[in-house]
Amino acid sequence: MNCYYHPNQPAVGLCKHCQRGLCIACATDVDDSLACKDRQEEQVRALDTLMARNLLQAGRVGSVYRRNAIFYFLVGILFAGFGWMQIRWMGWQGVFLLAIGVFLLYASVANYLESRKYH
C-alpha cells in the first residue's frame, strides 16, 4: 500500500479518521494513533475521547444490569415463596403470585446474562 498523498512512497499505517494510507512524512502520532499530519489530528483526538467514554459507559451499564438482576432475584423469591405458601388458602391468587415470582426470577437470569456482555 502506498501513501494517499505521495503515491510513490510506501505507507507506514492508516489514519484513524479517514483510513488513508500514510507515509512517514504525512503521518503524525496522536495519543498512540496515526493521523493525517495537519489535517485530521483533532478528529483523531475526538475519536479517542469518544472511545474512552464508551468503555467507561459499558462498565456502568454492566453494573446496572447486575443490580437489576439482584433486585429481581430477591423480589422474585419473595413472590414465588409467598405464592407457593398461599395457594392452599388463596387458590388462583396464590398461583398468580407464584407466576409473578417465576417471571421475576426469569428476568433476574436475563439481566445477569446481559450484564456479562459488558464485563
* Per-residue pLDDT reduced to its tens digit, 6-56: 999 999 999 999 999 999 999 999 988 899 999 989 999 999 999 989 888
The domains of the chain are located at: 1-43, 57-118
| HSE-CB for 77 with a 13 A CA cutoff | 6
For the full predicted model, state whether its pTM sits above 0.85.
no
Task: Supply the Cα-derived Rg of the chain in whole angstroms.
Answer: 27
Helices (H), the chain: 41-90, 92-115
- Strand duo 21-22 + 13-14: pairing: antiparallel
What is the reported pLDDT for 74?
97
Over pLDDT 90: what percentage of the chain? 71
Q: Phi/psi of residue 33, each to 5°? A: -130, 150
